[in-house]
Structure 1
Amino acid sequence: MGYATLDDLKERLDWTLDGDEERIALSALEDASDLAAHYGRDWPSDAAPRTVRTLVLRACKRYMSNPEGYVQSRAGDESLGWSDAAGENAGTVFFTGEEIKLLATLAGRATGLYSAGVTAWRSVRRPVTAGLVPVENAGKPFPLFADEWGPG
């Protein structure tokens, strides 16, 4: 089960892969596809949203372009640097936080705060007479609540 092919990845890279790089790229595609199924859902390969394919290829290109996860390099004395920003993902195939959120959204598992109205079994809603504010020189009281049923 892979959401992208080696040929798809080759089209996005700026160089021609040698034999070892092709082997590494195939493993990266497999890892990225597994992560996409984990963070999203296990879509059938032929029915996955196109965005899943794009995200898998983006993660693989990021890895293939910088497999060690360097964020700093200097040629003079040959110093290299890593960042803690990538954390344990430095030098591996990974999705960014925004990519993980997008995969969850594509899978229908978006996070957030939701509210749901709750009523008792066989209850009947009745209009609330409280919640109306008297208005001087006007015949009709002003509603304090959003609707006649109460706050909400």
Structure 2
Amino acid sequence: MAYATLDDLKGRLDWDLDADELRIAAGALEDASTLAAAYGRDWPETHAPRLVRTLVLKATSRYMANPNGYTQSRAGDETLAWSDAHGRDAGTVYFTAEEKRLLEGLAGTRPSLTSVIVSSWDSHIRPGVGGLVPVDYEGAPFPMFSDDRGPW
């Protein structure tokens, strides 16, 4: 399963891929698609949002341009450096925090706040029975539901 094709990826890279790079690119597209499904949802390949395809291509082309995750390279004394900015993801296909947020938003899985009804044990919501508590501000009373024995 891949949300983008090798031809899509070739269009984003500024060099021609040799046989080994084609093999690596195919695996990277697969990895990026699997990550997109994990951070978002498992969209059908033919019906995935366009942004998913874009993010998969972006992560794959980032990996193909720098497969080892180098942040610094010098030719003089052969100095190579990696950054801790991406932690364990350096040198692998990864999505940035912003890309993960976009995938969660597309899937509707972004963490959010919600409200729930809280009631005491064995109490029942009964239509037509009081249970509204006045509030300190100008507004509608707050619902507090009660049992059969008393108003609260």
Shorter-chain TM-score bucket reads: 0.7 to 0.9
Structure 2 match to 1:121: 125
Does structure 1 conserve the Cα–Cα contact (< 8 Å) formed by 2:63 and 2:92?
yes
CA distance in 2, matches of 1:101, 1:117: 29
Q: What letter matches 2:31 in structure 1?
A: D
Among 137, 141, 150, the residue aligned to 1:145: 137
Residues 24-60 of structure 1: CA deviation (Å, up to 9, x unaligned): 0000000001111111111000010000000000000
Q: What letter matches 2:56 in structure 1?
A: V
Aligned residue for 1:71, secondary structure, equals: strand
Residues 7-32 of structure 1: CA deviation (Å, up to 9, x unaligned): 00000001111111011000000000
Does structure 2 conserve the Cα–Cα contact (< 8 Å) formed by 1:10 and 1:16?
yes
- After TM superposition, the structure 1 = structure 2 runs for residues 26-37 of structure 1, keeping only pairs within 5 Å, are 26-37=26-37
How many positions carry a matched residue from both structures? 139
Q: Identify which range, 30-39 or 104-113, moves more after superposition.
A: 104-113
Q: Aligned-residue CA RMSD in angstroms?
A: 2.1
Q: Identify which range, 79-88 or 122-131, moves more after superposition.
A: 122-131
Structure 1 match to 2:4: 4
Q: Percent identity?
A: 60
Structure 2 match to 1:74: 74
Unaligned runs of 5+ in 1: 132-143
Structure 1 match to 2:91: 91
CA distance in 1, matches of 2:51, 2:38: 15
Q: TM-score, normalised by structure 1?
A: 0.82
Unaligned runs of 5+ in 2: 144-152
CA distance in 2, matches of 1:129, 1:43: 46
**CA shift at 1:110, angstroms?**
1.2
